Amino acid sequence: MTDDLEQRVRRELTGSRYELGLDPDDVLARVSGPKRRSRPGAATLATVAAALAVAAAVTVGFLLPGTSEAPVSPPAASASPAATLNGLPPGLAPAGDVAEVIKRAPALVGLPPGGTRSAYAAAAGGGVWRVVMVVDGGVAGLPGGVLDVPSDWAPDGSQLLLTRDGETTYVKVYRPDGHNFCLAVTGGPAEEQLAVLERLVTTNITR
């Protein structure tokens, strides 16, 4: 006998009230597909050229960690952070002065020394307002209390350490290929920081 409650649940879920009405252009602009290009319609040709140049430089720094290249120059205002680090929260843009972003209160004291550094910060307000990444930094422990890392963060077998210190959440990833990555997120609620870190790690580092 079919349960009446099951029928009600079926009717509820298949009704018309769950239409989300997302705009494909808006969604695609937030989702960086394979070899996704900047959208020329959103900027002048000069700005697009500048954005692509910055994206290429930062991508090289990200994919080939350990190079001795200096941090890239400040990006054009319209450069998409998704071009280098997929899954960033909306509103975060690459920061030109990485050291200043790290020192800003609350200072990100737990980052390892050296390595290739990049920073993303929100212009104003927003939930998570700073993300800093260090690729192939020196050996250093992370501050704060250790948090459990779900196994689905590392389908590639990477080793992860996740900690929470004050207003900042840190994660360090040791990939099987020998490279290591440290990410720090601060400025928003702890839950949001964790959700952002999960997205950044699984879409950029461990898959």
Partner 1 sequence: MRQEQFEEFVRGNLPALGRYAYVLTGHREDAADLVQDSLVRLARAWPRVDEAGSPLAYAKTTMVRTHISTLRRLGRLRRSEFEDLPADDGFGSVDDGVDLRRALRTLSPVQRAVVVLSFFDDVDDVTIGHQLRRRPGAVRALRHRALRSLRAALHDNPNVEVRR
- Binding residues (CB under 8 A) for partner 1: these are 3-6, 8-22, 24, 27-28, 30-37, 86-87, 148, 150, 152, 189-192, 194-195, 197-199, 202-203, 207
Peptide bond into 106 cis (omega under 30): yes
Minimum distance from residue 80 beta carbon to partner 1 (Å): 13
182 neighbors 140 (Cβ within 8 angstroms): no
DSSP, collapsed to helix, strand or coil, labels residue 76 as: coil
Q: Who's near 111: CB < 8 A, 6+ residues apart?
A: 102, 117, 132, 134, 137, 140, 170, 182, 184
Minimum distance from residue 63 beta carbon to partner 1 (Å): 14
Minimum distance from residue 2 beta carbon to partner 1 (Å): 11
Smaller CB separation from partner 1, 78 or 203 = 203
Minimum distance from residue 9 beta carbon to partner 1 (Å): 5
Smaller CB separation from partner 1, 37 or 103 = 37
Minimum distance from residue 188 beta carbon to partner 1 (Å): 10
101 neighbors 121 (Cβ within 8 angstroms): yes
- 52 vs 65: CA distance, rounded Å: 20
Smaller CB separation from partner 1, 98 or 196 = 196
| E strand or H helix at 11 | helix 4-14
Smaller CB separation from partner 1, 36 or 104 = 36
Smaller CB separation from partner 1, 20 or 70 = 20
